[in-house]
Structure 1
Amino acid sequence: MRIQHRTTFLAQGVLMLLAFLILTSLAMASTGFSAYVVEHKTKRVLYEHSADEPRYPASITKVMTLYLVFEDLKKKKINLKTPVKFSAYAASTEPSKLGVKAGDSISMKLAIDALIVKSANDVAVAVAETLAGSEKEFVKRMNQKAKQLGMHNTTFRNPHGLFHAEQVTTARDLATLGIAIYEHFPKYYDYFSTETVSYGGITHKSHNQITKTFPGADGLKTGYIRKSGSNLLSSAKKGRKRVFAVVLGGRNTKERDGIMESLLTESFAPVRQYRQQIDYAVVMDQTVLFTPRKGVNSDKTVLRDVKSKTPKFEPSPQIKLAAKPQSNPAPTKQQIAKRQELLTGDAVQVGAFTHYQDAQNQARLTERRTGINRISIVHEGGLYKVWLTGFSNTEAHSTCELLKSYRSSCFVVRNPSVN
């Protein structure tokens, strides 16, 4: 299980802590917060937080609706001029809607644009009825396709995303859907970058601002209902690298987009080479210590064998412990002082990961948002744990209680070197 949360130091002020929580924890919509980033070609997970927890997809549901539209277009069962007729049932669907009257029709191309730009719920129902004869039959097809694509934790109950208690998905599943629609229908993928749609003398603008604010972002879909919070499925490309990213459960659009931009920025950041190695004597049951620094294009990482008094090093973000420790000179006075500064006092654990890179992503994002560099990654019990260090015991407990009030999981870790 992977757990990720974010915080800052009580000593730097409660206001900074509150701002940091609002910007990065986004806890929560009623089902919670999730985030997930995956590289397209390699399928390597770059970041994840509660990626397999059930969430309400809201209007990202329409990406599956569009998948089935594109599938029928590819099979030539329909074309872009196929009329989409609105039944009384479709026309009565709750907003957001295009406002087509019962008995009227629009083209399939206009329907596609309305689903992407306006996120029109009435259009989703009309499309479902056009393709499958009824909304019920279309939903069956949605669920069949979800299973075929490997969306094992997703259930659809409608084609638009309005609240239904049983309509749930996960961040990982939505990324899978995004990748599938990109790979299977390259001819139609560009539709997701459509910015406006006009009908009845009214021009509607896209809700997806990431395509405007983040260079390389070219789709896919936003979503919001009160139960879900602000959701976003995005894809972006820089050079030969494309990533798909999902944010579910943001408090509002601005904060959701801020999280997405941060995730995308980190995903395209160049791989950093370790230019320095810091020697620390072993004083605790720790095997990894990560201390990011602003303005320094390097990570500083030390691996320590808890059974040895001499440290060992592996200058790579894909850290693997060597079979035997390497010989290193005794630490200098400056190095000992640095160790004591970093590890003095208790810590607050805010994340635990099975993979080092996931923990490193957390540490980088924390440093990026706050400018705080007293962040440690501790390898212990098979997990890479993200610690905020340097607290007194009282400060640590107070910070953790404040975090919990924002529904962020944490607990105090007593420093073994402190009596």
Structure 2
Amino acid sequence: MFAVRNAGKAGFLFLAVLLLYSLFNQAQANPRYASIVLDADSGEVLHASNADATRYPASLTKMMTLYMLFESMEKGLMTLDTAMPVSAHAASMPQTNISLKAGDRLKVRDAIPALIVRSANDVASVVAEALGGTERAFGAMMTEKAKAMKMTSTTFRNASGLPDAGQTTTARDLAILSVRLMKDFPQYYHYFSTQSFTYKGRTYTSHNRMIRNYAGVDGMKTGFIRASGFNVATSAVKDGRRLIGVVMGGQTAQSRDAHMASLLDRGFERATQLAKASPEATRPAANLVVSTDTVRQVVRQEQPVTRAPAVLQRTSQTFPVEQTMITDELGWAVQIGSFRVPEQARERASDAARRLADVELAQIAVSEVEISNRKLFRARLVGLQEGQAKSACQRLSRQGMDCLVVRLSGS
């Protein structure tokens, strides 16, 4: 009986190994396949397969088109109401499109969902010509931006991802782009979770089924051309941790999505194991600026209340904040993101506070940090207990707001 039982276990183990080997070989046998999963906050790579191999981006190209558009809006060169002219070149773009006609004018507020939901090639050309004069010139601008982001293996020739032998990238580079879209333009990230939009009476539905089918996914983008196979870049949040995944070269949209789901499952499991093995201790920044507005006070618009034993000192920031020494009593925080200007960081933290109106003790904190030789301002809700922080971040994540639970050192 003992021998039979052990033989059964051995047989099961053999079948499991055989299945894994078969799946591995299937991935390796597909010359278009590549994938990567990383932690969006730390940048730690949790999985990589052919991550640096040259691939065709297909419509994931439009993520860079959107980055360039968001950047122009941040610089004040465009607004959501800017109307961009439609040229004959743009109107001639093949499916998928929204049937623009030469001479039309397209507002930025319509272009953004058209690029994300419909993956409209005509809209990509409209944006390219509005920002770069010609689509070829815009491709050069996109490539220059990619190099500046350390996307060293990426070259763009057009704004849509339509076939071009010279338009290539890697899974790793696209993961970098995904992170930069979220970190640099958090105010626009919510667009990537859009499931449908209506233009001129016609409603378009997203091809991105990961958002509907995988709990925690709140964006990004799918893509396909014959040369690339089925591509997808995905962002997902679980227990306050955000992962970025990129899968390229899927045989079908369904198999691509199933593979992405599997990679995310394993990524979250691995990230949890790593966190347990080496718990993060986040050091408070030297220039920590903390508002004494509690979350409930942000909603009520009441006067700030000084909380003992905080030591308060006015600062010269352009927004009314007070510098506070945070005690070890409540040593957990919800990190909202890092921003280029302190006003933007405070605005984003205040938005999070309004969404958590019933959390009494949280305070808005903005700290100056340096990331990749850039001075940024990190927004957090501080003064929380562990359970409060985790619950708050989960609630924000369900509302499409990026966040991370961190433990302050000394707690």
Query: Into which bin does the TM-score normalised by the smaller protein fall?
Result: 0.5 to 0.7
* CA displacement, residues 320-367 of structure 1 (integer Å, 9 cap, x when unaligned): xxxxxxxxxxxxxxxxxxxxxxxxxxxxxxxxxxxxxxxxxxxxxxxx
TM (norm. structure 1) is: 0.60
Residue of structure 2 equivalent to 1:175: 175
Instruction: Return the letter of the residue paired with 2:220.
Output: L
* CA displacement, residues 15-46 of structure 1 (integer Å, 9 cap, x when unaligned): x86x98579834666x5210100101211110
Whether the 8 Å contact between 1:72 and 1:78 is mirrored in structure 2 is yes
Task: State the shift of 1:132 in Å.
Answer: 1.6
Task: State the shift of 1:215 in Å.
Answer: 1.3
Residue of structure 2 equivalent to 1:137: 137
Task: State the shift of 1:201 in Å.
Answer: 2.5
Residue 100 of structure 2 corresponds to residue 100 of structure 1: yes
Residue of structure 2 equivalent to 1:189: 189
Instruction: Mark the CA change 1:83 to 1:36 in structure 2 (over 3 Å): closer, same or farther.
Output: same
Counterparts of 2:109 and 2:64 in 1: how far apart (Å)?
16
Whether the 8 Å contact between 2:135 and 2:158 is mirrored in structure 1 is yes
* CA displacement, residues 250-273 of structure 1 (integer Å, 9 cap, x when unaligned): 100000000111111112227787
Counterparts of 2:177 and 2:272 in 1: how far apart (Å)?
31
Counterparts of 1:258 and 1:101 in 2: how far apart (Å)?
38
Residue 242 of structure 2 corresponds to residue 237 of structure 1: no
Residue of structure 2 equivalent to 1:46: 46
- Per the alignment, in what secondary structure is the counterpart of residue 187 of structure 1? coil
Unaligned ranges ≥5, structure 2: 1-10, 279-411
- Per the alignment, in what secondary structure is the counterpart of residue 189 of structure 2? helix
Instruction: Mark the CA change 1:28 to 1:202 in structure 2 (over 3 Å): closer, same or farther.
Output: farther
Q: Aligned ranges for residues 64-143 of structure 1 at < 5 Å?
A: 64-143=64-143
Q: Aligned ranges for residues 3-18 of structure 1 at < 5 Å?
A: 12=15
Instruction: Return the letter of the residue paired with 1:260.
Output: M
- Per the alignment, in what secondary structure is the counterpart of residue 187 of structure 2? helix
Task: State the shift of 1:238 in Å.
Answer: 1.6
Instruction: Return the letter of the residue paired with 2:26.
Output: S
Residue of structure 2 equivalent to 1:25: 26
Residue of structure 1 equivalent to 2:383: none
Residue of structure 2 equivalent to 1:205: 205
Task: State the shift of 1:200 in Å.
Answer: 3.2
* CA displacement, residues 274-323 of structure 1 (integer Å, 9 cap, x when unaligned): xxxxxxxxxxxxxxxxxxxxxxxxxxxxxxxxxxxxxxxxx979xxxxxx
Counterparts of 2:203 and 2:272 in 1: how far apart (Å)?
45
More helix by share: 2
Whether the 8 Å contact between 2:56 and 2:228 is mirrored in structure 1 is yes
* CA displacement, residues 31-79 of structure 1 (integer Å, 9 cap, x when unaligned): 5210100101211110000100000000000000000000001111000
Task: State the shift of 1:106 in Å.
Answer: 1.7
Instruction: Return the letter of the residue paired with 2:89.
Output: Y
Task: State the shift of 1:239 in Å.
Answer: 2.5
Whether the 8 Å contact between 1:34 and 1:50 is mirrored in structure 2 is yes
Higher relative contact order (CA 8 A, sep 6+): 1
Task: State the shift of 1:237 in Å.
Answer: 1.1
Counterparts of 1:188 and 1:71 in 2: how far apart (Å)?
11
Residue 164 of structure 2 corresponds to residue 164 of structure 1: yes
Counterparts of 2:152 and 2:75 in 1: how far apart (Å)?
25
Task: State the shift of 1:202 in Å.
Answer: 1.8
Counterparts of 2:29 and 2:38 in 1: how far apart (Å)?
23
Q: Aligned ranges for residues 214-225 of structure 1 at < 5 Å?
A: 214-225=214-225
Instruction: Mark the CA change 1:10 to 1:92 in structure 2 (over 3 Å): closer, same or farther.
Output: farther
Whether the 8 Å contact between 1:26 and 1:251 is mirrored in structure 2 is no
Task: State the shift of 1:240 in Å.
Answer: 2.3
Instruction: Mark the CA change 1:270 to 1:180 in structure 2 (over 3 Å): closer, same or farther.
Output: closer
Instruction: Mark the CA change 1:272 to 1:10 in structure 2 (over 3 Å): closer, same or farther.
Output: closer
**Equivalences, count:** 268
Residue of structure 2 equivalent to 1:292: none
- Per the alignment, in what secondary structure is the counterpart of residue 269 of structure 1? helix
Whether the 8 Å contact between 2:250 and 2:256 is mirrored in structure 1 is yes
Instruction: Return the letter of the residue paired with 2:194.
Output: T
Counterparts of 2:232 and 2:262 in 1: how far apart (Å)?
13
| Structure index of larger Rg | 1
Counterparts of 1:51 and 1:136 in 2: how far apart (Å)?
27
Task: State the shift of 1:164 in Å.
Answer: 0.7
Task: State the shift of 1:134 in Å.
Answer: 1.2
Counterparts of 1:114 and 1:239 in 2: how far apart (Å)?
31
Residue identity over aligned pairs, in percent, reads 43
Whether the 8 Å contact between 1:28 and 1:251 is mirrored in structure 2 is no
Unaligned ranges ≥5, structure 1: 1-7, 274-314, 318-419
Residue of structure 2 equivalent to 1:364: none
Instruction: Mark the CA change 1:28 to 1:113 in structure 2 (over 3 Å): closer, same or farther.
Output: farther
Task: State the shift of 1:241 in Å.
Answer: 0.9
Instruction: Return the letter of the residue paired with 1:71.
Output: E
- Two-structure CA RMSD over aligned residues (Å): 2.8
Instruction: Return the letter of the residue paired with 1:25.
Output: Q
Instruction: Return the letter of the residue paired with 1:246.
Output: V
Counterparts of 1:118 and 1:24 in 2: how far apart (Å)?
34
Whether the 8 Å contact between 1:23 and 1:259 is mirrored in structure 2 is no
